Amino acid sequence: MSGFWLAMMSAMIWGLSAFIEKWGLKNADPLGGVFARTVGIVTGCLIFSLVVPQAPQRFFAMDGRSKLALMLGGCLASVVAQLFFYRALKFGDIGRVSAIGGSWPVFAFVLSVLFYHEPLTTQKVLGLVLVMAGAAFLK
């Protein structure tokens, strides 16, 4: 399966997740919701490690810098950003909140150009402009 279709699958699953989480937040506080989501992540990781026993081995085989960077990314995405997202989702429209929250590629793109020196192409700039325009329309 190509990178495009794998990304589309992740987008569909993330969209389904936001739909389910909006329903779960109806009678829940966003902070409690993040904790519940994190329990779900831990449970999923435990099940995943039973089904794919190489996963924990590959984690322990990683160098310290890789572990630290990936754990920091996980903490930022799954706890800090998720808390902001849940607060927005609790009080906002799911379509608007998901689209604006889903504009994170804009920030990743800018950082990748600045720090990883990834090429700046016309196609990428056009995509960036479209994402920013979409977020602006939803404001």
Helical packing angle, 104-115 and 122-138, nearest 10° = 150
Question: Which pLDDT value is given to residue 29?
Answer: 94
Confidence of residue 8 (pLDDT cuts 50, 70, 90): confident
Q: What is the pLDDT of residue 132?
A: 87
Mean pLDDT of 75-98: 92
Asked whether residue 14 falls in the same domain as residue 56, the answer is: yes
Average pLDDT over residues 47-54: 95
* 3-class SS of residue 131: helix
105 has pLDDT over 90: no
Rg (CA), the chain: 17
Mean pLDDT of the region 102-112: 89
Q: Model-level pTM? A: 0.81
Considering the domain boundaries, does residue 74 fall inside one?
yes
Q: What is the mean pLDDT of the chain?
A: 92
Q: Distance between CA 20 and CA 37 in Å, rounded?
A: 11
Best CA proximity match to 89, nearest among 15, 35, 39: 15
76 and 8, same domain (yes or no):
yes
Residue span of the structural domain in which 78 resides: 3-92
| Residue at 72 is within a domain | yes
